[in-house]
Amino acid sequence: MSTKLVKKELKIDVLLRNLKKKFNLSEEEIIDLFKDQEISIPLSAFNKKLGMLESSTLYLKDTLKLSFKEIAKLLNRNYKTIWTSYNKAKIKLKNE
C-alpha cells in the first residue's frame, strides 16, 4: 500500500473519530450525511478510445475508489455491466 493512501486513510479515520466525538454521531449517521452528495466526473476522465460507460466506470473505480456495487447503484446499471465495462476499459488501455 502506498504511503499516500495510508496517509489519506489515517486522515479519514481521524475525521470520523472527531465527528463521532464532537457531534455524538454513529458511523451510520455519518455515512448518511455523505450519501446524498453529488459525484461529478471531470471531462478529463473521458478517453476517445473508451466508451462513456467505460470511462465513467474506470474513473469512479480507480480515482474515487468506489466498489462495483456502489458504481452500479450510482449509474443505475447492473453490477455485471459495470464489472464488464471496467475490465474492457482496462484491456483497451493496456493494449494502447
| Angle at 6 (CA atoms; ends 17, 87), nearest 5 degrees | 115
User: Residue 86 pLDDT more than 80?
Assistant: yes
- The per-residue pLDDT for range 52-81, each reduced to its tens digit, is 999 999 999 999 899 999 899 888 999 999
- For 40-96, CATH gives 1.10.10
Q: What is the pLDDT of residue 33?
A: 73
pLDDT at 88 over 80: yes
Q: What is the pLDDT of residue 77?
A: 93
pLDDT digit string, tens, across residues 17-40: 887 888 888 877 777 777 766 778
| Residue 5 burial (CB count, 10 A) | 10
Question: For residue 16, what pLDDT band results from cuts at 50, 70 and 90?
Answer: confident
Average pLDDT over the chain reads 84
Place of cell 466526473: 41
The domains of the chain are located at 1-37, 40-96
Read off the C-alpha cell for 52: 462513456
